[in-house]
Amino acid sequence: MSGIAGVLTVDGSEPPEDLLHALSTRLLRRGKDDQGITIQNGLGLIHRRLSIAPLDAGHQPLCNESKLTLVADCRLLNTESTRDRFADSYDFATALEVETIFPLYEKYGAEFTHHLFGMYAIALYDGHADELILTRDPAGIKPLYYFLDDRYFIFASEIKVLLGLEHIRPDIDRQGRKESLQYGATLGGKTIIHGIKTVLPGETLIVQKGRLLKTFRDRPFDDLKPSKMTLKQSFEEIPAALCEALADLDEPTQKAACSLERPGDYLLASTLDQCYGERTHCFSILLDGESEDSKHQFKVTNLTELPFDEHDFWRTLPFVAAALDEPCNIPERALTYYLAKKLKGHFTVLFSALGTKVLNADMPLFKRAKRLKILGGRPLPRRGIFQYLRDVPLFLNSWSEDIKKARLELDEHSELSRLQKSQVLEYENRFVTQNLASFERLTTFHGLESRFPFLDPKVRYELMGLGDSLKIHHGQTGFAFYELLRHKFPTLDLSSLCHFKRAKLNQWLRNKASRLSALVAHQEEIEAIFSRDFVRDAFSCKDEYYTQAAWTLLMYALWHQAHIKGIKPIPDTLSFLSAKN
């Protein structure tokens, strides 16, 4: 795991040392074992590294004789084949996997990304062309953000790193706020902070003298084709693809932790146990001392159950909001934070089946996408989270322009079904920005590297390529994947696992609804948008739309306290909401 950052001056002058050191200091949480800074031609590059791999393999920033310099946060899976390919034409000076980027760039230019396989965020400087190239993996696993004004182009692995600089004001982007509240994620490369943008999954930026010259993009499903795989064949081919992905990701000296949080985690844990043996350690969080039969019947080499109650949840939530770059209305992230904290110092890698709900079409919105248009089918959500509620402020309704643009781009892909287009839309927009980003930040916060084997191209193409009738069958979403789980674990009932956890969290929310609604409604940022009666109704009504709106309001209020008001988190949600500067 690494953190990268950099400053490119518009006038070509040397970047201020205090600015570079401020960026390096704020990257500390992403790598405390090694650091490096290099300055050349008006550019300062910064790298922080956690020693998952041996430190004697080499150091970053990395330079070569062709005036190329790079910093990267990456896990490349085709390193050996690339080294073999260029063994006769390029003199490798280190054992770092990122060095394989140099010969690829020398051969293919900025399109070297077409030949990378893995997860990465890369900043490469070409001294001959005086160009800075930023790029991010198509799956969107590794984060990368940037800010530019009339003096600097600044980039970093996290928004929080940029937000702490005196050059960047913590002003809310109004359109980003609407998207975050209504959709749960910001769209089109913007973030909720005005002026800070994200490099999109698979996007490459070419920058010169602090200005964008060119952008192009490799999308995560550009090569997706419909599969003719039968249900019975999927029972063999999907686990085989997962095994192959785990073999590529293997770190032979590392213990592998796996969180049993979602149904796909059980297939992942079983496969990890099969591939890695005793190095696999599975962790299950028990809410309020729950003791579900499914957990006790699940057998792996090492399984630890961690109790987590309502008191733990409300103590954890302020720290979750403070660790995230953007608001996230997924309360289950408190479980992720809690587990990562427990694993800190004992593990460096945490595996997760994140992404399976999108890849398997296991979400209610996909049922609507599969229907014919005359039967009410629609490819994208018409309403935001708050548009299901009464008396919603009208200005919030204008949130969906960017997602409509994304849909029009997908309409050009005639080889994809309506359902697949909706899955791609969900993946590229809400999943990457909300689910994936929040999980990655919370694990990184505690020094853990996240691994998502289901997002490996081999696995994600197998799942997304399944026929629509296998994904949604007689109204059941995620049909083929749940059939695979039943085939693999006939004694377990995993279909209700996520619903059980959310129901428990919703109960905890209702237990404190009156006090929470009063504190949230009095937040300046909330008060400027919603009436107090509106907030009270969101917290008091048991309807699922109102409950989701309540989570959205609560998490936004907590995030605003931590990032805009700058209040340090304390282990008490109610006290944190009422805290003043």
Q: Select from 345, 340, 406 the least CA-distant residue to 379.
A: 406
pLDDT digits (tens, 9 = 90+) for 176-227: 999 999 999 999 899 999 999 999 999 999 999 989 999 999 888 888 877 8
Strand, coil or helix: 383: coil
125-159 burial by CB neighbour count: b if 16+ within 10 A, else e? bbeeeebbbbbbbbbbbbbbbbbbeeebbbbbbbb
Mean pLDDT score, 463-480: 91
pLDDT tens for each residue of 553-567: 999 999 999 999 999
27 alpha carbon, distance to own chain's centre: 18
pLDDT at 37 over 60: yes
Integer Cα distance of 372 and 351 in angstroms: 38
pLDDT in tens, 149-175: 999 999 999 999 998 888 898 899 999
DSSP H stretches of helix in 277-388: 293-297, 310-323, 333-343, 356-359, 364-370
Quick one: pLDDT band at residue 433, thresholds 50, 70, 90?
confident
Region 488-517: what's the mean pLDDT? 87
Write down the mean pLDDT value for the chain: 89
Q: What is the C-alpha separation between 253 and 306, in angstroms, rounded?
A: 25
The pLDDT assigned to 54 comes to: 58
For the cut 80, the answer to whether the pLDDT of residue 315 exceeds it is yes
Which parts of 344-440 are beta strand (E)?
349-351
Q: How confident is the model at residue 293 (pLDDT cuts 50, 70, 90)?
A: very low
Residue 374: pLDDT above 60?
no
pLDDT top residue among 127 and 383: 127
Q: What pLDDT score does 161 carry? A: 92
**Joined tokens for residue 272:** 């990890």
Residue (of 168, 158, 244) closest to 199 by Cα position = 158
Lowest-pLDDT range of 44-58, 96-110, 178-192: 44-58
**What's the pLDDT score for residue 135?**
97
Q: What is the pLDDT of residue 394?
A: 76
Write down the pTM of the prediction: 0.93
